[in-house]
C-alpha cells in the first residue's frame, strides 16, 4: 500500500448497485485522483461497465465475487452462506492488508456481523458502533450508534461514549469534546434503567472524558454536545427522522419559491444562499458511517443513496485511511482504558474469546 | 357545561408558567371567544395578573391550589404528595364534570400518572399514549406514543395502533387510515423481538385496521402512513429530533437570507412564501399532545413552549371538547374491540383492577 491508497468496495451492495458505486467512484476521484479501488462483484456485470470508461478502469481492479448479500438476509444467514459474496470479499481485502479500508452500501446487519467476525473488535470493545457526523447550529457533532446494535446494555453504551469521544477528538479535532446520553428528559430519573445506570457510571467514573449528562432529541440540532451516545435503534430512528425533516423542509421551500411570480423572481436572488443551506443539510453530505471499534476501516453507506452520497462515503474512508485514523483511535482508546484502570487484555479475552 | 365550553388549565405547570398560560389564553380567546377557563394555581400570583386584564378576567375563574408539581419530581412522589397541586386539581375538574377537558405544560410523568389514576383508562387500554399531529409531504399524520411510556410491550403497541387508527379517523377525517410501526428497517426480521411480535399480531389479527407494516424514521416526513406507532422513548426522541431539525433549518435559512445584499433584497420578495413554510413546520403549531385512552380530555403542552404554543394546546383541547371527541373515540374503540372478538369488560378488569 506504499504510495497510493487502496480502498476495497462492495460493488454490489445497496439498492442501486453497482451503478451508483461506479458513478460514486468517478465523483470521488475528482477529489482523490490517486486512490486505487478494488471492486468486488460480478465480473460479467462490472467488466463491461468499466470498459466504457478508460480513466475509471485505470483506477479500478475487479475482484470477482459470485454472490450478493440480499437486503432481507439475516446476519446469521449471511455469515453461513455469504463467504463468496462481494461484501465478505471486500472486508477480507482489509483484513489481508490489501486495502486501507472498505465501503459498502449493503445490508447493515450482515455488514456488521461479517466485519466483526473478520476484522475483530478492539481490545475492550464488545460490539462495534456506527458513528457519523450530523449538522448542528454549532458545527458538526458525532452521533453513535446509528443502527449496528438495536439493543444495548450499559457496558455497550459506556464503550460507545469512549469511542465517540476519541472519534470527536481525532476527526473533529476537538480537545475536550463533551458527551451527551440521549434520553427523553434531562432529569436524573428520566428514561430507562439502562440509561440511568450508564449515566451514573459515566458521571462517577475515573474515565478522562467530559460527560455532560442526558440530552434530548432537539439537542442534536442545537449542538448542545459534541458527541451524542445512544443505542442503535434510537440512533437510527433519530438519524432518519432528521433526514426526513430536512427533505420535508426542502420540499416545502421549493413549493414556496414557486408559489407566485414575485417569489420566483425573489428566488433567483436568494438561490445561491439557499443552495448553500441545502448542501449544508443534504443527507448525502453526511453519508458514510464508520463502524467504530474494529481492527480496520469499514464504512457503511446508506443503502438507498445515489452516486453523490456514495462518493461521500468513499471520501470518509479515504480520509480515515489517509490519516491512519484507526491506528490513532486504537492508541487513544488504549490510553483511555489504562487511565480508567481497566486491563485491555482481560477485556479483549472477554470481548473476542 | 351547557352552552359555553369550560376548560380546566394547570396555570402553574411548565418552564414559563404562569406567564405563558395567561398569555396563551388571551391568544386562544381570539379564536374561541366563548370558552370559559378554570385557572388552577396560586391565587396570590394569578389574581393580580388577571386584575390587569378585564376581558381575560371575565373569561377566567381562579381555583386556588397551594402546590406545584416540580419538573424533577418522580410520578410516584407527585401522586403521594401532589393532591394540593394545580395539576391534580386541573385534572379533578374534568373528572368531576366541571370542565370538558384540561391542559397542562407540567411534568409529563406526573401528568400521566395522575390522569391515569383520576380519569382511568378506557376499557381494554392498559396505558394511555400521547398522540399528536406531525407535518408531512402529504398532509399531517398522527404519531404515538410521544413520551408517556418509555418502555412498551406488544399489548401496549397493539392498543396504541387501535387508538391511533380511531384518532386519525376522527380528527383527520380519514376513512381508512393506514398504520405503520416505527422500526430501523422495513424487512420482517428487523428491530426488536417486541416489534416483530407486534407486527405479526397486527398483520394476522382480525382487527378492522389497515396495517402497512414497518416504517422508518424518514417515513414520518414522507407521510408514508397516516399513523406512526412507537414506544414513548423512541417517539419522544423522534419528535424532538424533528423539532430540532426544523429549527436548525430555519436558522440556516435566516443566515442565508442575510448573507449578502442581493439575498436580502430577494428575501423581501420570497418572505411571504417563506413565512408560510415556517408556520407550516413551526413546532408550536403542533404543540398539544392528547393522552389517548382516558375517560376525559387531557392535553399535554410542551414544557418549554411560549404563549403561542400554549394557545395551540388550548385550541386542541377546545376542538376535542367541542366535537365530543372522547365519546366518539370511546364508541369507536368499543366497536373495534367487538369486531376483534375481545370482551371489553374482561379487558377493563385487567386494565384497571
ipTM of the complex in this document:
0.88
Please tell me whether residues B171 and B158 are part of one structural domain: yes
Q: What is the pLDDT of residues B34-61, one digit of tens each?
A: 999 999 999 999 999 999 998 899 999 9
Q: Across B118-236, where does the E strand assignment appear? A: 129-134, 141-144, 178-182, 210-215, 227-229
Taking CA–CA distances from B137, the nearest residue in chain A reads A248
Look at residue B50 and tell me if it is in a domain: yes
Sheet with B6-10, strands from edge to edge, namely B60-64, B36-41, B6-10, B101-104, B297-300, B289-292, B129-134, B141-144, B227-229, B178-182, B210-215
Taking CA–CA distances from A244, the nearest residue in chain B reads B218
Task: Please say which residue of A260, A284, A308 terminates a domain.
Answer: A284
Please tell me whether residues B108 and B181 are part of one structural domain: no
Q: What is the pLDDT of residues A96-109, one digit of tens each?
A: 999 999 999 999 88
Please tell me whether residues A345 and A249 are part of one structural domain: no
Mean pLDDT of the B185-192 span: 87
Compare CB distances from A239 to B74, B217, B233 and report the shortest one's residue. B217
Look at residue A331 and tell me if it is in a domain: yes
Look at residue A215 and tell me if it is in a domain: yes
Please tell me whether residues A265 and A141 are part of one structural domain: yes
Task: Please say which residue of A284, A302, A335 terminates a domain.
Answer: A284
Residues from chain A contacting residue B273 (CB–CB below 8 Å) = 256-257, 259-260, 263
Of B333 and A204, the one with more pLDDT: A204
Look at residue B331 and tell me if it is in a domain: no
Minimal CA–CA distance to A293: which of A146, A166, A133?
Answer: A166
Please tell me whether residues A143 and A274 are part of one structural domain: yes
Confidence of residue A326 (pLDDT cuts 50, 70, 90): confident
Distance, in Å, from the CA atom of B306 to the CA atom of A198, rounded to the nearest integer, reads: 33
Please tell me whether residues A10 and A71 are part of one structural domain: yes
Q: Is 80 exceeded by the pLDDT of residue A205?
A: no
Q: Is 60 exceeded by the pLDDT of residue A347?
A: no
Look at residue A13 and tell me if it is in a domain: yes
Please tell me whether residues A256 and A169 are part of one structural domain: yes
**A116 CB-contact burial (10 Å; exposed 0-12 / middle 13-18 / buried 19+):** buried
Placement of cell 470493545 in the chain: A125
Please tell me whether residues A62 and A184 are part of one structural domain: no
Please tell me whether residues A189 and A261 are part of one structural domain: yes
- Show the domain range for A84: 6-127+293-352
Q: What is the pLDDT of residues A23-78, one digit of tens each?
A: 999 999 999 999 999 999 999 999 999 999 988 999 999 999 999 999 888 899 99
3-class DSSP state of B101: strand
Look at residue A1 and tell me if it is in a domain: no
Task: Please say which residue of A284, A302, A317 terminates a domain.
Answer: A284
Please tell me whether residues B186 and B280 are part of one structural domain: yes
Look at residue B333 and tell me if it is in a domain: no
Please tell me whether residues A23 and A117 are part of one structural domain: yes
Mutate to test the interface with B, among A218, A261, A309 (most CBs of B within 10 A): A218
Q: Is 90 exceeded by the pLDDT of residue A117?
A: yes
- For residue A258, the domain's CATH number is 3.40.718.10
**Beta carbons of B269 and A266 less than 8 Å apart:** yes
Please tell me whether residues A275 and A303 are part of one structural domain: no
Number of domains in chain B: 2
Amino acid at each position: 500500500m506504499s504510495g497510493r491508497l487502496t480502498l476495497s468496495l462492495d460493488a454490489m451492495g445497496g439498492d442501486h448497485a453497482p451503478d451508483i458505486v461506479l458513478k460514486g467512484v468517478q465523483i470521488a476521484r475528482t477529489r482523490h485522483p490517486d486512490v486505487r479501488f478494488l471492486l468486488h462483484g460480478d465480473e460479467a456485470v462490472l467488466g463491461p461497465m468499466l470498459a466504457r470508461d478508460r480513466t475509471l478502469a485505470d483506477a479500478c481492479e475487479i475482484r470477482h465475487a459470485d454472490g450478493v448479500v440480499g437486503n432481507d438476509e439475516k446476519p446469521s444467514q449471511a455469515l453461513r452462506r455469504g463467504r463468496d459474496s462481494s461484501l465478505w470479499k471486500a472486508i477480507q481485502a482489509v483484513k489481508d492488508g490489501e486495502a486501507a479500508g472498505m465501503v459498502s452500501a449493503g445490508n447493515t446487519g450482515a455488514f456488521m456481523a461479517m466485519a466483526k467476525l473478520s476484522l475483530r473488535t478492539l481490545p475492550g470493545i464488545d460490539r462495534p458502533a456506527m458513528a457519523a457526523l450530523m449538522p448542528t447550529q454549532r458545527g458538526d457533532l458525532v452521533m453513535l450508534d446509528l443502527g449496528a446494535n438495536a439493543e444495548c446494555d450499559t457496558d455497550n453504551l459506556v464503550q460507545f461514549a469512549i469511542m465517540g469521544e476519541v472519534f470527536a477528538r481525532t476527526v473533529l479535532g476537538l480537545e475536550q469534546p463533551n458527551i451527551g446520553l440521549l434520553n427523553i428528559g434531562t432529569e436524573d430519573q428520566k428514561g430507562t434503567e439502562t440509561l440511568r445506570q450508564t449515566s451514573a457510571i459515566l458521571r462517577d467514573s475515573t474515565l478522562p472524558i467530559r460527560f455532560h449528562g442526558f440530552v434530548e432529541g432537539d439537542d442534536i440540532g442545537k449542538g448542545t454536545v459534541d458527541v451524542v451516545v445512544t443505542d442503535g435503534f434510537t440512533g437510527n430512528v433519530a438519524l432518519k427522522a432528521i433526514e426526513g425533516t430536512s427533505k420535508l423542509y426542502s420540499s416545502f421551500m421549493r413549493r414556496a419559491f414557486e408559489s407566485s411570480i414575485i417569489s420566483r423572481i425573489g428566488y433567483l436572488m436568494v438561490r445561491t444562499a439557499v443552495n448553500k443551506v441545502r448542501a449544508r443539510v443534504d443527507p448525502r453530505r453526511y453519508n458514510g458511517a464508520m463502524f467504530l471499534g474494529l481492527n480496520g476501516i469499514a464504512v457503511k453507506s446508506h443503502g438507498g443513496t445515489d452516486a453523490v452520497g456514495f462518493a461521500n462515503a468513499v471520501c470518509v474512508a479515504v480520509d480515515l485511511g489517509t490519516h491512519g485514523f484507526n491506528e490513532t483511535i486504537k492508541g487513544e482508546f488504549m490510553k483511555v482504558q489504562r487511565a480508567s484502570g481497566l486491563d485491555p487484555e482481560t477485556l479483549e479475552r472477554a470481548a473476542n474469546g
